[in-house]
Amino acid sequence: MRYIQSGLAVLFKPLRVWALPIHLIIEPTTFCPLKCRMCKREKYVDTPSHMSFEGFKKIFDQIKPLRLTLSGLGESLVNSALVDMIRYASKNGASVSTTSSMALAHIPAEQLIMSGLKRLKVSLDAADPETYQDIRGLDLFDRVIGNIRAMATLKRKLNIQLPHLCLQVVIQSKNVSQLSQIVELAHDLRVNAVSFRPVGLAGIEEKRDELTAGLTPDKIICQIKMASDTAKRLGMKTNLNDLLAETSCKSGDISLISPRPPRLRVKISPPSPRPPRLRVRTDCSFPWFSMYITVEGDVKPCCMFSYLDTKFGNLLQEDIHAIWNNEKYQQFRQILRQGKYPDVRCQDCVPEKMLDLAAVFRRVIGQLGH
């Protein structure tokens, strides 16, 4: 029933949304021992903290989301309350996923497996120790591989299908020639899938050269095609074909493959008295069914705003009903409804098309995550 109510909100986009969000992204911590070169954390987190289980429960109980992603600007597994959060949310009807570097074994694999976790995304941006250290700052490749293998082996031993294990790869200059090898590694590790995403530059524009040096559309497309062939040969599930479609049709437009600074896509209409109109996506539906909550309880529209000043309220201090349809939320929805970007960084976001009901439900049910 809540899926249907949220689906209707996504379709009709009212300014006031009756159904509470069915998806939450909650940031469990802003602590992290790694120093990944593409991560915003170091730049934006001054004083790291953990969310307490009590704080988490206070937020969760107000909304009772159907899907919960535990991830943010930190390493999820360093918060020892994470397992309690997963267990509590799962028992209360949420399908829970989290993202981790798996570089440190703060939480034993068995506890994670038994917690009710549905999906574990493991960030692995390299196929060898040198590239791993180059991208992620520490010499932990072998440990990460060992942790993933141990988790996959334990699942088989216990004859348990969940959590679904998925490698997450941020494509950037340092690893673009390793995409195929990463697919092979995923197959060897016997994980369930590999998800690739282009490096996002919002908030770290000064790193554009460092992260995208030498990347050209041809090079990226060629590497994605090779990796896609490898995945097909090995029967490994990936999102490479979707990415290829996205990359080909937006060639020169997504930040990763453009050597130029990001720009708003401006549609120059035939001469007219009106100024050129910004051609913007009108298909962002996040503020109608989803919510991002920082480690301090601040409410944001989505993860892209995690480090920005924009906030709609605080769920550790206020009630959800005082926030979900407040003036700030309604203004934000209004801007999206008018087909504009609420923030210039939205141009870096690649939401899927949300205009038909099937896509809405595919998004809401299957492809949420961080």
What are the residues binding ligand SF4 (CB under 6 A)?
32, 34-36, 39, 41, 73-75, 101, 284, 286, 301-302, 304, 342, 346, 349, 351
Nearer of residues 240 and 346 to ligand SF4, judged by Cβ: 346
Nearer of residues 101 and 192 to ligand SF4, judged by Cβ: 101
Question: In the beta sheet, which residues pair with residue 67?
Answer: 23, 95
Nearer of residues 176 and 354 to ligand SF4, judged by Cβ: 354
Q: Which of 69, 95, 97, 100 binds ligand SAM (CB under 6 A)?
A: 100
| Segment contacting ligand SAM by CB under 6 A, of 49-57, 72-80, 270-278, 293-301 | 72-80
Query: Least Å distance between CB 226 and ligand SF4?
Result: 25
**Residue 197 binds which one of ligand SF4, ligand SAM, none, with CB within 5 to 8 A depending on kind?**
ligand SAM
Q: Which of 17, 167, 199, 323 binds ligand SAM (CB under 6 A)?
A: 199
Give the separation between CA 175 and CA 128, rounded to whole angstroms: 10
DSSP state string for 177-214: GGHHHHHHHHHHHT-SEEEEEEPP-TT-GGGHHHHHTT
Query: Least Å distance between CB 200 and ligand SF4?
Result: 10
Nearer of residues 165 and 360 to ligand SAM, judged by Cβ: 165
Q: How far apart are the first and last CA of the chain?
A: 25
Give the three-state DSSP class for 283.
Answer: coil
* DSSP at 39: -
Give the separation between CA 74 and CA 126, rounded to whole angstroms: 20
Q: Which of 28, 55, 65, 200 binds ligand SAM (CB under 6 A)?
A: 200
Query: Least Å distance between CB 31 and ligand SAM?
Result: 10
DSSP state string for 59-124: HHHHH--SEEEE-BSB-GGG-TTHHHHHHHHHHTT-EEEEEE---S-SS-HHHHHHTT--EEEEE-
Location of structure tokens 């989505």? 302
Q: Which of 24, 39, 68, 224 binds ligand SAM (CB under 6 A)?
A: 39
Give the separation between CA 189 and CA 234, rounded to whole angstroms: 12
* Closest C-alpha to 261, from 344, 169, 352: 344
| Segment contacting ligand SAM by CB under 6 A, of 93-101, 147-155, 222-230, 261-269 | 93-101
- Please state the separation of Cα 294 from the chain's center in Å: 14
Nearer of residues 140 and 231 to ligand SF4, judged by Cβ: 140
Give the separation between CA 194 and CA 167, rounded to whole angstroms: 5
| Segment contacting ligand SAM by CB under 6 A, of 13-21, 68-76, 89-97, 354-362 | 68-76
Nearer of residues 59 and 303 to ligand SF4, judged by Cβ: 303
The C-alpha angle with vertex 68 and arms to 60 and 342, in degrees rounded to 5, equals: 95
**Residue 346 binds which one of ligand SAM, ligand SF4, none, with CB within 5 to 8 A depending on kind?**
ligand SF4
Give the separation between CA 63 and CA 2, rounded to whole angstroms: 12
Nearer of residues 15 and 150 to ligand SAM, judged by Cβ: 150
148 touching ligand SAM, by CB under 6 A: no
**Residue 349 binds which one of ligand SF4, ligand SAM, none, with CB within 5 to 8 A depending on kind?**
ligand SF4
71 touching ligand SAM, by CB under 6 A: yes
Nearer of residues 101 and 230 to ligand SF4, judged by Cβ: 101
Structure token digits, residue 158: 């216990």
